[in-house]
Structure 1
């Protein structure tokens, strides 16, 4: 997602952050216990990195983790696209940890699916395995934008078998590839197939169905916030409506908000409303114990 997807809502007192690298076992203590770990490797691929922001006075029985997942059509984008959200989250949720992640972008040699879903699994598994060292409680919120929202939804609805994800914020994420918006495009089946590792799925798999989060909702799905634009030409509003219906039928706690505008180019008051909703959802579903 483009950096101008949101407006900066408030004038914030920013913490000074000096770049450091986990690869060199360096970290920067901003206060007695506060730490920033940048470009932490969670796999062998150069793009398998995340930035981790650990609050002061954290502990492994209370400090839960907010995970940011960038967009970019599965083939581009970077965690830095989400950097501007970090001061806002810190201000509203100073007792949460934040992980801003990269996943391996799709190319001719590396299909997106299911690899990008599994990348989130690798991040969560690494953070979970380091619970005591990092002093975090491995319960998670996923905030995804566009393709990152699709990846987040798919991870929760299919791969989160241990129920570590407690909520999702879906910002203009594709949810239904069987939608006429996609199926009426004669090139879409070829485009979708190019994103899929066919060896990871049974023969004759209907990729449009199996890769559509709205068609994978179950009673185990996490509480979900949905945000869509009513004139979006990238991800149609109907995708949000289909997911909303599926969540209703499964009786999953959720909220569906439609703003005037396209793929995130909404009025500032609407952006502020979205941030307020996400923050309130974190306070309910990812509450940090006192």
Structure 2
């Protein structure tokens, strides 16, 4: 328990612009009417739930999906933390579906990696298998905050073998665990041990490298939007710089934006600028075809 407390205190990476949560199920009867389905199970763990927002007049040939992935240092947080995005997306992208996800939070019995990446994979597989029932086209934009951005980047760069993810929004995501900001932390080895299921990786694996999205970029990576603060005490701006260079080297379309402030606690104009950049990218890379 003491080890987990240290992990949370030292690596409590969490986004600061959060919203209130929902706690009720809402559905409609007409399959082509707008529909909200809350707390859909995608596994046996009680934390394996997502909220699904389906637009009216959807179809399996055009209705693509925007996925929201919350932060919280891999050990905390909740999908409710991303609710602030829901109304904006509905207004700005009324023909897209939205899935706001929870993953199993790391503890002493359940490491984060690779389990949280596999949770995202399970969600995408479930939605894909239900595409005709739900009338959705399983192509995705992933928008992740902090630890959720790390999960989103890792999923796209490593696990998305079917190229269903078309764009990733990285909001203050850790991208390089070899950065001295992390590697020179005297508790770094303890943190990695607590977060990694060592049995899931070959013996001798360099976890700091293999779990760093900036080191997993390839020419198959999706277009990526990077948003960082210039005074972030949790994720250094150098992490954004490193990913920016890697994307440049692999000729991946991307934007890199730096705001005044820390870990998401930016001015309202900057928050609106971030949302608008994400919206323009969704229009470009996750276009709804009529």
Name the TM-score, length of structure 1 as normaliser: 0.92
Name the residue aligned to 1:104. Answer: 104
SS in structure 1 of the partner of residue 63 of structure 2: coil
Cα distance in 1 for residues equivalent to 2:125 and 2:100: 15
Where do 1:95-244 residues align within 5 Å? 95-244=95-244
Deviation at 1:268, TM superposition (A): 1.0
Cα distance in 2 for residues equivalent to 1:18 and 1:243: 37
CA change 1:31–1:124 in 2 (3 A) is closer
List, as ranges, runs of 4+ consecutive aligned residues in structure 1 with deviation greater than 2 Å: 1-4, 27-32
Deviation at 1:2, TM superposition (A): 6.1
Name the residue aligned to 2:25. Answer: 20
CA contact (8 A) 1:193 1:207 kept: no
Give the aligned length.
276
Given candidates 7, 17, 21, the residue that maps to 1:5 is 17
Cα distance in 2 for residues equivalent to 1:2 and 1:116: 16
Deviation at 1:190, TM superposition (A): 1.2
CA contact (8 A) 2:70 2:102 kept: yes
Cα distance in 2 for residues equivalent to 1:226 and 1:32: 35
Cα distance in 1 for residues equivalent to 2:32 and 2:131: 19
CA contact (8 A) 1:6 1:264 kept: no
Indicate the larger mover: 30-39 or 258-267: 30-39
Cα distance in 2 for residues equivalent to 1:91 and 1:222: 25
Name the residue aligned to 1:43. Answer: 43
Cα distance in 1 for residues equivalent to 2:166 and 2:39: 25
Cα distance in 2 for residues equivalent to 1:253 and 1:32: 35
Indicate the larger mover: 45-54 or 28-37: 28-37
Indicate the larger mover: 188-197 or 166-175: 188-197
Deviation at 1:18, TM superposition (A): 8.6
Deviation at 1:269, TM superposition (A): 1.0
Name the residue aligned to 1:12. Answer: none
Task: Give per-residue Cα distances to partners, 1:27-83, cap 9 Å, x unaligned.
Answer: 235996111111000011100000000000000000000000000000000001111
User: Is it true that 1:270 corresponds to 2:275 in the alignment?
Assistant: no
Cα distance in 1 for residues equivalent to 2:278 and 2:271: 11
SS in structure 1 of the partner of residue 37 of structure 2: strand
Deviation at 1:4, TM superposition (A): 4.8
SS in structure 1 of the partner of residue 281 of structure 2: helix
CA contact (8 A) 1:20 1:37 kept: yes
SS in structure 2 of the partner of residue 170 of structure 1: strand
Cα distance in 1 for residues equivalent to 2:146 and 2:134: 30
Deviation at 1:267, TM superposition (A): 1.0
RMSD: 1.7
CA contact (8 A) 1:176 1:209 kept: yes
CA contact (8 A) 1:114 1:196 kept: yes
Name the residue aligned to 2:33. Answer: 33
Cα distance in 2 for residues equivalent to 1:212 and 1:29: 44
Gaps of at least 5 residues in structure 2 are: 1-12
Gaps of at least 5 residues in structure 1 are: 8-16, 22-26
CA change 1:62–1:182 in 2 (3 A) is same
